Amino acid sequence: MEPTCLDTSLNLNVDPSSVHTDMVLEEELQRLRRENKRLTEMLTDLCDSYMVLQKQLTQLKNTNFEQDQLESRKRKAESECCTNKFGVVNNNNVECSSITEDSFKRYKDFSSSPKVSKVLVKTEASNNSLYVMDGYQWRKYGQKVTRDNPSPRAYFRCSFAPSCPVKKKVQRSLEDPTILVTTYEGEHNHGHQRGEIEGGKGSSPVSSPTPTIGSACPTVTLDLVKSGFFETAQKSSVQQFLVQQMATSLTRDPNFTTALATAISGKILQAKW
């Protein structure tokens, strides 16, 4: 997919005394509607692509598992160090579902139990942190260096609700240290936490594939790693999620908020006079 470059700024710097103000605003509104429609179409395409990838991934996993069954036990143990990755690269951020370094001997467990999911998160090369902001609040309770990977594995519990059984493990990929392999276990028994998505208290603000918008040429990147995304894999949920992401992106854009404030205050002043 070609790079997304959207103009989210509102061109509202119009002369208040101009008799064409309403027309200009109307044109701006039309432009934004067209932009909105275009975005919706792009998101639909993105969702379709994701579904296709997911299907291919499942097929590949099945194939590999059958082949692996024929291998010797020792060979299988060695294969635990190998990682197969399939992802969607979107500018600087990579969000992907994953087949991970775990051996296929547990594959059936994974497939039969949707409570375990794995997510790969691309991070900055200079970023050594093991924190992944996924919309939930986590408390770290341990860290270990595992045998097959020199980088430490961090253990987290969901700290939002004391009764929440969800745990996650985060470890850097052996092949690509810029990729964090996150393993989620269990299901949240509470709602999603909006606070952390927006940089709230909890984890450090790192490794977050959050939407970014530049001032000159805004680039909307989508975070597909938010918890629950890969588990549900239902189009409606995906679209709802993407819309949320877009809303967050827009409200984070200083240009957008400034323009919005200007527009509102202008309208109020117009109404008064």
Partner DNA sequence: CGTGATTGACCGAATGC
Partner DNA sequence: GCATTCGGTCAATCACG
Residues in contact with DNA by CB under 7 A are 74, 77, 137-144, 146-148, 153-155, 159, 167, 169, 201-203
Exposed e or buried b for every residue in 183-212, given b needs 16+ CB within 10 A? bbebebeeebbeebbeeeebbeeebbbbbb
Closer to DNA by Cβ: residue 60 or 77: 77
Comparison of 97 and 171: residue with beta carbon closer to DNA: 171
Q: Which residues contact 67 (CB under 8 A, 6 or more apart)?
A: none
The distance of closest approach from Cβ of residue 130 to DNA in the complex, given in angstroms and rounded to an integer, is 7
Residue 226: CB minimum distance to DNA, A? 19
Task: Output 202 or 266, the one with its CB closest to DNA.
Answer: 202
Percentages helix, strand, coil for the chain (3-state, rounded to 5) are 40, 15, 45
The smaller minimum CB distance to DNA, of residues 90 and 183, is found at 183
Shortest spacing between CB 258 and DNA, in angstroms? 29
Name residue 153's beta-bridge partners: 144, 171
Token readout for 102 is 């775990």
Q: Report in angstroms how near the CB of residue 141 gets to DNA at its nearest.
A: 5
| Partners of 118 in the β-ladder | 183
Nearer to DNA, 201 or 272 (CB): 201
Q: How far is the CB of 124 from DNA (least distance, A)?
A: 17
204 vs 132: CA distance, rounded Å: 8
Name residue 272's amino acid.
K
Smallest distance from DNA to CB 109, Å = 12
Helix H or strand E encompassing 117:
strand 116-122
Strands 93-97 and 116-122: what pairing?
antiparallel
Closest CB to DNA among 28 and 80? 80
